[in-house]
Amino acid sequence: MIVASTSRPKRRFGFSKVRPGTPGELPLQFRTRRFGMRAWQVTGFALGALILSVILSSSAYELVRNLALRSEQSADLRQAYVSASLVNAGLRTSTPNIVEILSGLEVPSGSTPFLFYDSKWYSTSLQAGRNVIPVDLRHIVSNKSPAFQRFILNSKVSMAVGIPLVASHSYYYEIFSFSDLERTLRLLTYSLALASALTTLAGAAMGLWTSRRLLAPLEEIANAASEIAKGDFETHLVTNDSDLLALASSFNSMVDALKNKIAQDARFASDVSHELRSPLTTIQNSLEIINHRKDEMTPRTRQAFEFLVDEIARFDRLVQDLLEIASSDSTSTNLVMEDLGTFELLENCFRSNRSSGFILDISAQLSGTRIYADKRRFERIIDNLVENASKYAGGLERVRALRVGDSLRLQFEDRGPGIPDHDKVRIFDRFARGSGRDRRMLGRGTGLGLSIVQEHVRTHRGRIWVEDRNEGGSIFVVELPLQVGQDVLWETTFETGASVDEVS
Ligand code: ADP
């Protein structure tokens, strides 16, 4: 029983071994996470930067606030003592004028002096009465001890200082406002908050940059893997980063091992086919001799003989196809890629198929274009598709050669039974035969033709697929890259606009 796991998979990237024939043991596929590696990295860096900057900002704020408070406090205390001594001196005159004494004090802006003298309260401020002085402070000072207290006055931090003037039996109070300090601290808070936000953004940018740098090799590996999947085994990873050397070298060893394995398989198929060729030729020669005496055979023997000839011909075709497959990979030594004129190449290749009676329609847009191709393989692609059309679809109706972007597109259009959707991809596999309506030829072919064509198309870095034709039948489409951005050496003999060349 398979139980769906609700726990999150621990490893987000790793390798697993898929053993053939044990579907029950296939590892659970990782669910793709919405939050990818890059997003994690960016968020992690941003969060880290935010936490760090908040810690640094709050400690810096606390430090500055304490220092500023302490220096403001000692300055205010000094100021209060200076004022108190001036008041004390003023009171010791024979006829002290208290209002004059208090208004003569040079107090800083925002501070208010109070005097308790002869059981009366005096102040220079009309707004603030003695009630603003905290009761506790008044109590301490009335016991002849100087004191100060910080408190909130009108939602602002203020400090009250009380100094007993013993000689004049009075008490001097002064209230200082910390609003300047508060304004400075508010500014500091805004600056630190801005700095934290900028640091967080810088952290996120750093995360993005490092994730790009970290993921770049992975993207390179993915690109290399997809090139290899397309059949280009010359693809290797190169690096000058000592940390990535091990990864690059194991990747390259894997590619080499894969290439060797494929070459070995191809060699084996080629050897087997070669070994089969000589007995096959002997059998074919013998059959040829027997064929001369066909008239002397009884009808049953003749029928058996014809059946044998058919099967040997099919066997011969199979051996030829296997040899072709063995040499079809791009690493093969018999691959001869040449810079060729597209018109010239198409003309030459279709010349041998002129008897097939289809319309060859070459677009004028291809004039002057060039293609990098192996003539023999290119011809094999065309011959095979033409031959398939006559085998399975009663012949081709039209072949179009067009320029689509920087590619040559060849469309082989027939009026045959068409290819069912479920066969459209499968027929390009080795030994795959169609399951279409026209079953006359079914079982006659080797099922290797289209896979050879696909290999040749891949060798040319192109694509092949099959489409339904609106009027019935199918269209085999081959797309091969043209040589672009190169000096055109070959001049077309076709006039511009003369795009239709009818072959009969
Ligand atoms: P073979 O080498 O035996 O001819 P192919 O690989 O060339 O086999 O083709 C595979 C199958 O694709 C054939 O068995 C046939 O059913 C189908 N097929 C190929 N070309 C056409 C076509 N033009 N119309 C219909 N079916 C086709």
Q: State which ligand 1 atom lies nearest to the alpha carbon of 417.
A: 25
Render pLDDT for 302-360 as a digit per residue (tens, 0 to 9): 999 999 999 999 899 888 888 888 777 555 567 788 999 999 999 989 887 766 688 89
Ranking 24-28, 132-136, 446-450 by mean pLDDT, the lowest is 24-28
Tell which one of 380, 388, 411, 441 to mutate to probe ligand 1, the residue whose CB is within 8 A of the most ligand atoms: 388
Contact 435, 447 (CB under 8 A): no
Query: Would you say residue 31 has pLDDT above 80?
Result: no
Tell me, in angstroms, the distance from the centre of ligand 1 to residue 288's CA.
Answer: 29
Give the integer Cα–Cα distance in Å for 10 and 14. 10
Render pLDDT for 88-123 as a digit per residue (tens, 0 to 9): 988 888 888 888 888 888 888 888 899 998 888 888
Contact 361, 400 (CB under 8 A): yes
Query: Would you say residue 68 has pLDDT above 70?
Result: yes
Length of the chain: 504
> In degrees rounded to 5, what are phi and psi of residue 233?
-85, 5
The one-letter amino acid code at 483 reads: Q
Structural domains for the chain: 1-241 (no CATH), 262-330 (1.10.287.130), 337-481 (3.30.565.10)
Share of the chain above pLDDT 70, in %: 85
Give the integer Cα–Cα distance in Å for 387 and 29. 44
Per-residue confidence band for 481, with pLDDT thresholds at 50, 70 and 90? very high
Contact 115, 172 (CB under 8 A): yes
Tell me, in angstroms, the distance from the centre of ligand 1 to residue 435's CA.
Answer: 9
- Residues framing ligand 1 (Cβ under 6 A): 388-389, 391-393, 414, 416-417, 419, 427, 432-434, 436, 445-451, 474
Sign of CA dihedral 101, 103, 106, 107: positive
Q: Can you tell me the mean pLDDT for 41-68?
A: 94
- If one compares 342 and 491, the residue with the highest pLDDT of the two is 342
Ranking 40-54, 242-256, 258-272 by mean pLDDT, the lowest is 258-272
Sign of CA dihedral 411, 417, 420, 421: positive
Per-residue confidence band for 140, with pLDDT thresholds at 50, 70 and 90? very high
pLDDT the model gives residue 26 = 47
Give the integer Cα–Cα distance in Å for 472 and 464. 20
Contact 412, 396 (CB under 8 A): yes
Tell which one of 316, 317, 392 to mutate to probe ligand 1, the residue whose CB is within 8 A of the most ligand atoms: 392
Q: State which ligand 1 atom lies nearest to the alpha carbon of 321.
A: 2
- If one compares 273 and 188, the residue with the highest pLDDT of the two is 188
- Mean pLDDT, the chain, rounded, equals 84
Tell me, in angstroms, the distance from the centre of ligand 1 to residue 424's CA.
Answer: 10
- If one compares 421 and 494, the residue with the highest pLDDT of the two is 421
Nearest in space to 174 (alpha carbons), one of 156, 157, 158, 162: 162
Render pLDDT for 9-28 as a digit per residue (tens, 0 to 9): 455 666 666 665 555 444 44
Tell me, in angstroms, the distance from the centre of ligand 1 to residue 417's CA.
Answer: 11
pLDDT the model gives residue 253 = 95
> What is the side-by-side strand order in the sheet with 463-468?
463-468, 474-481, 407-414, 396-404, 359-362, 500-502
Q: Can you tell me the mean pLDDT for 130-158?
A: 89
Torsion of CA 468, 473, 475, 476, to 10 degrees: 110
DSSP at 335: -
Model pTM score: 0.59
Give the integer Cα–Cα distance in Å for 374 and 456. 9
Render pLDDT for 210-234 as a digit per residue (tens, 0 to 9): 999 888 888 999 999 998 887 788 8
Per-residue confidence band for 155, with pLDDT thresholds at 50, 70 and 90? confident
pLDDT the model gives residue 483 = 86
Q: State which ligand 1 atom lies nearest to the alpha carbon of 451.
A: 6
Contact 387, 403 (CB under 8 A): no
Contact 157, 150 (CB under 8 A): yes
